[in-house]
Structure 1
Amino acid sequence: MSNRFQSLLDAQRENFLSDTTKSLDWRFEQLDRMERMLLENKDDWCAALYADFGKPPFEQMFEISVPTGVIKYYRDNLPSLIAPEPVAIPKGLEATGNRGVIYKEPYGVTLVIGPFNAPILLLLDPAIAALAAGNTVVLKPANTTPATAALFQKLVPQYFSPENVTVVTGGRAEITELLELPFDFIFFTGSSAVGKVVMRAAAEHLTPVILELGGQNPTIVDATANLEIAVDRIAWGHNAISGQWCIAPGFVCVHQSVADLFVEHLKTSIRRMYGSDPQQSPDFARMITTHDAARVASYILPDKVVIGGRSDIAARYVEPTILYPSDWSDPALQQEIFGPVLPVLTYDDIDTLLMTIKRMPKPLATYIFSKDQAVVDKILGSLSFGGGCVNQTNLHCWIDTLPFGGVGASGMGKYYGKAGFDALSNRKAMLIGNPDVDLDVFPPYAGKDIAKSLSVFG
């Protein structure tokens, strides 16, 4: 049975094999086209995001401004990123006129599969890195954001030649068929369950992958934290996109001496952000499906609700909710919530808490609120996670000097800025020899001073 997308792959591969995509001019042109596609259709993008799940204006513009910022980074830095990179080699080899150089070459045809929660940003950021590195790109937007996917299907052919960038829409059947093909690189952002499917498919062709997955992200608040500032950052970090953010604080562990006060401040912060009826707030998004709304609502234990707790499944609405005091056995602590329900637990001994968290799957992010550097250092030295913040939440993933990605169950591979360029490039290591100076390392070995011969490598 023929694959519907084989011709698409073949056209991009032929284009790549021509070496066209390796030029600086080609890369700049693709970045310019991407920027124009975003900025010239800004209102349409925002309208699609609102149609799909009620994204508020600030979160809509975030999806435009972040990719255009990434484009600017690559436009400013591409010449130096592309340039061959001299590296140190053993002094003996260097003394005989040899030198080490790393060349950066693109992988080839790259499949980028995006998620629903930031359907523009998290599809295009990897694509922008791929194009900057000289790869062609096949875009697969999420099928659960139909308005945004339809806009991609409409606009991509208007701005790009299909042998450079093209788009495939659809659901599971289309993804399954795409994954049957021998892409040169696959970049997937989404759930751990689908990430495993992607990795199994990639293994059939030994295709390298970056998997940006998720997890239940811990937030630790100790007794020294500035609670009034911490709660605003946690409330926003958790409830933006209605909690459907892979880097959202998943649960909060607060030192028992300040836990009650923390919860009171957090309740005040949520009311200030979203009002007494968040369903009417223009700043609070909806769940992506009724199924997800029902799933998240099922985590709400009425006897632990201190604010929120209401839901309207048909309207895909779950109210921002705090569960306190929560327990490690509660339903909301058994998986990534991916919704606006926040369990708050207490702790009294940091070592016991860290051991509990270390036994959980490694998260994508961790957040620490403390003024005690010794506590911060202890947490950072003990826990393994993709990245995070101290006395902030969420913002680390949009800074181009900070590689972003997961570890263990939360993913593999890093991208963003230079890390993104490097991740989508094969770093080809080369030893450039001196054609006129002999190295006495060849047979016959009898009578040779072996140690002297090998000293050039030391």
Structure 2
Amino acid sequence: MFSAELERLRNSYNSHKTKSISWRRDQVRAMMRMINENRDAIGDALKKDLNKSQMDMELMELMCVHNDIIDTLDNLEERMKPDKCRKSLLSVMNTVEVRKEPFGVVLVIGAWNFPFMLTLQPLVGAIAAGNCAVIKPSELAPESGALIKQLVEKYLDPDCFSVIIAGPKESSDLINNHRFDLIFYTGGSFVGKLIMQAAAKHLTPVILELGGKNPCYVDKSCDLDCTAKRIAWGKWSNAGQACVAPDFILCEQAIREPLIEKIKEKVREMYGDDPKNSESYGRIVNERHVKRLRALLEGVEIVYGGDIDESDRYFAPTIVTNVKEDAAIKNEEIFGPILPIYIVKDIDEAISIMNDGEKSLQLSVFARDRKVIDKVTAKTSSGGITVNDLLIQHGELDLPFGGVGDSGIGNYHGKYTFDTFSQKRSVYESFTPELMNVVRYPPYSQRQLSVLRPLVFKSGPIPKPIWFFLKLAVIASAGVLMAYLYKIVTESKKFS
């Protein structure tokens, strides 16, 4: 079904046009124009798909893409330069480096919860690294997907990029029956595993940006007012449909009720008494997901919210407690506006719960006690950790974003996106005169080994000043050394 399209991109890549820095810069600049000239259309699409406000569009969708574009344009030349490597004395006259080369034709599969950011931000890095790309927006955000297709076809090189709007059946065909040089997927772990299985047929590398049950520990030492405000913002932005939002709260019995009351207060401040009427509160992506979330309310006690309107895809900010052991919400990723709060006796029990099961994409802790912060950081594992905040870390381009274990493979943002879409190719160019190499050829003798050993066997770290003068001495005395080595080898072979 997609063979002709992929062949066209493959031919463009093989023409080497994508490898020039001028082409890469032109395409990244075109992405900037694409965003700046179509803000109203992007806002309309996000409003229809997820009821996103203008502020959500700017801060949660376009800011990260914009900043990644600027960062790429500012640093592209430097990122494309080969990395020089440390050399042994045997290679002191040679070139030893790592070059960053494009993979070829890559597949970027976006997600529906942030349809522009999670589709376009990885694309910036794919272009910067010199790849051609097939872009597949999520079919669950149809207005955004259709607009992405329209804009990419208008602004970017049509010989090197193709946007495919496909449902589950066509997507399965795309992944299972066509070969890509790299697949970048953002979404759930179930589909992520299917993509990895399909990629294994061709040993295609995959980057999987998944999710998980992100824990949030609230310590009694925290600033309760600030903590509640940031939890309310971090949990209910985009109606809870964010892979880095907290999935559940852990806290001690003494602060549970004060925390709940504070969170309620902050939700009312942000979204009013009826969030359904707030311009700032989003909607669930479709009715099927509303029903999925409704089912997660079985076996829990609702202490706040719980209002649902399926026809409007509205699900109120909801806090639940006293969750039964067999409740589905305990094991399934919520990915919505339901916030369970669990009681723990102390920090050690909280850490034990955090470490139980699969590793999360994002873990968070609210505390002013340094010992608590350090203990959580040292004794847990996750893709990332935030202290006294939520979501905000996603905008820091110098932080790699990605999961670990079940929450993902690989990372991106800023230079990490460029690195992700670049193959690291080792290059060794020899300029050593043959007279200096003769010592390595057979027939071998003990005297050869005694000469080679100090040249090739490491004896520990050499301070930089000493290494500099050592290299200088080797190069300066090359003529004398060549004559000496030649004499040793010829004499040893004569009498061996």
Q: TM-score, normalised by structure 2?
A: 0.88
1:455–1:317: structure 2 CA closer, same or farther, 3 Å change rule?
A: same
Residue in 2 aligned with 1:412?
A: 409
1:451 Cα deviation after fit: 4.9
Whichever residue aligns with residue 444 of structure 1, its letter is P
Of the candidates 356, 359, 366, which is equivalent to residue 359 of structure 1? Answer: 356
Q: Secondary structure at the match of 1:55?
A: coil
Q: Secondary structure at the match of 1:427?
A: strand
Residue in 2 aligned with 1:12?
A: 9
How far apart are the structure 2 equivalents of 1:303 and 1:363?
Answer: 23
Alignment pair present for 1:131 and 2:99: no
How far apart are the structure 2 equivalents of 1:301 and 1:268?
Answer: 25
Moved more, 442-451 or 263-272: 442-451
Say if 1:213 and 1:364, in contact at 8 Å, map to a contact too. yes
Residue in 2 aligned with 1:239?
A: 236
Q: Secondary structure at the match of 1:388?
A: strand
1:325 Cα deviation after fit: 4.2
Of the candidates 174, 177, 181, which is equivalent to residue 178 of structure 1? Answer: 174
1:156 Cα deviation after fit: 1.8
1:40 Cα deviation after fit: 0.8
1:205–1:302: structure 2 CA closer, same or farther, 3 Å change rule?
A: closer
Residue in 2 aligned with 1:312?
A: 309
Alignment pair present for 1:279 and 2:276: yes
Residue in 2 aligned with 1:86?
A: 84
Of the candidates 386, 389, 399, which is equivalent to residue 389 of structure 1? Answer: 386
Q: Secondary structure at the match of 2:216?
A: strand
Of the candidates 135, 141, 150, which is equivalent to residue 137 of structure 2? Answer: 141
1:1-80 alignment, distance < 5 Å: 4-62=1-59, 63-80=61-78
How far apart are the structure 2 equivalents of 1:266 and 1:127?
Answer: 37
Residue in 1 aligned with 2:441?
A: 442
Moved more, 170-179 or 118-127: 170-179
1:220-239 alignment, distance < 5 Å: 220-239=217-236
How far apart are the structure 1 equivalents of 2:216 and 2:325?
Answer: 14
Q: Secondary structure at the match of 2:84?
A: strand
Say if 1:386 and 1:407, in contact at 8 Å, map to a contact too. yes
1:175–1:455: structure 2 CA closer, same or farther, 3 Å change rule?
A: farther
Moved more, 445-454 or 292-301: 445-454
Of the candidates 195, 198, 207, which is equivalent to residue 198 of structure 1? Answer: 195
Cα deviation code 1:378-398 (max 9, x no counterpart) = 111111111131111111122
1:212-361 alignment, distance < 5 Å: 212-301=209-298, 304-326=301-323, 329-361=326-358
Moved more, 215-224 or 349-358: 349-358
1:349 Cα deviation after fit: 2.2
Greater fraction helix? 2
Whichever residue aligns with residue 80 of structure 1, its letter is E
Whichever residue aligns with residue 244 of structure 1, its letter is Q
How far apart are the structure 1 equivalents of 2:264 and 2:453?
Answer: 69
Whichever residue aligns with residue 185 of structure 1, its letter is L
Of the candidates 110, 113, 125, which is equivalent to residue 109 of structure 2? Answer: 113
Cα deviation code 1:408-450 (max 9, x no counterpart) = 1111001011111111101112233233152322322234442
Of the candidates 155, 158, 181, which is equivalent to residue 154 of structure 2? Answer: 158
Residue in 2 aligned with 1:430?
A: 427
Say if 1:347 and 1:353, in contact at 8 Å, map to a contact too. yes
How far apart are the structure 1 equivalents of 2:322 and 2:394?
Answer: 30
Bigger CA radius of gyration: 2
Cα deviation code 1:126-158 (max 9, x no counterpart) = 111100111111110111111111112222221
Say if 2:51 and 2:282, in contact at 8 Å, map to a contact too. yes
* Structure 2, unaligned runs of 5 or more: 459-496
Say if 2:102 and 2:129, in contact at 8 Å, map to a contact too. yes
1:327 Cα deviation after fit: 5.6
How far apart are the structure 1 equivalents of 2:440 and 2:196?
Answer: 43
How far apart are the structure 2 equivalents of 1:388 and 1:46?
Answer: 31
1:255 Cα deviation after fit: 2.5
Identity across the alignment (%): 36
How far apart are the structure 2 equivalents of 1:338 and 1:361?
Answer: 16
Whichever residue aligns with residue 301 of structure 2, its letter is K
1:302 Cα deviation after fit: 8.1
Moved more, 75-84 or 324-333: 324-333
How far apart are the structure 2 equivalents of 1:328 and 1:369?
Answer: 26
1:219–1:328: structure 2 CA closer, same or farther, 3 Å change rule?
A: farther
Residue in 2 aligned with 1:97?
A: 93
1:333 Cα deviation after fit: 1.7
Moved more, 430-439 or 129-138: 430-439
Whichever residue aligns with residue 116 of structure 2, its letter is I
Moved more, 364-373 or 433-442: 433-442
Moved more, 290-299 or 255-264: 255-264
How far apart are the structure 2 equivalents of 1:327 and 1:238?
Answer: 22
Moved more, 229-238 or 254-263: 254-263
Say if 2:300 and 2:327, in contact at 8 Å, map to a contact too. no
How far apart are the structure 2 equivalents of 1:410 and 1:47?
Answer: 31
How far apart are the structure 1 equivalents of 2:78 and 2:109?
Answer: 28
Q: Secondary structure at the match of 1:33?
A: helix
Say if 2:359 and 2:405, in contact at 8 Å, map to a contact too. yes
Moved more, 238-247 or 368-377: 368-377
Say if 1:214 and 1:364, in contact at 8 Å, map to a contact too. yes
1:32 Cα deviation after fit: 1.1
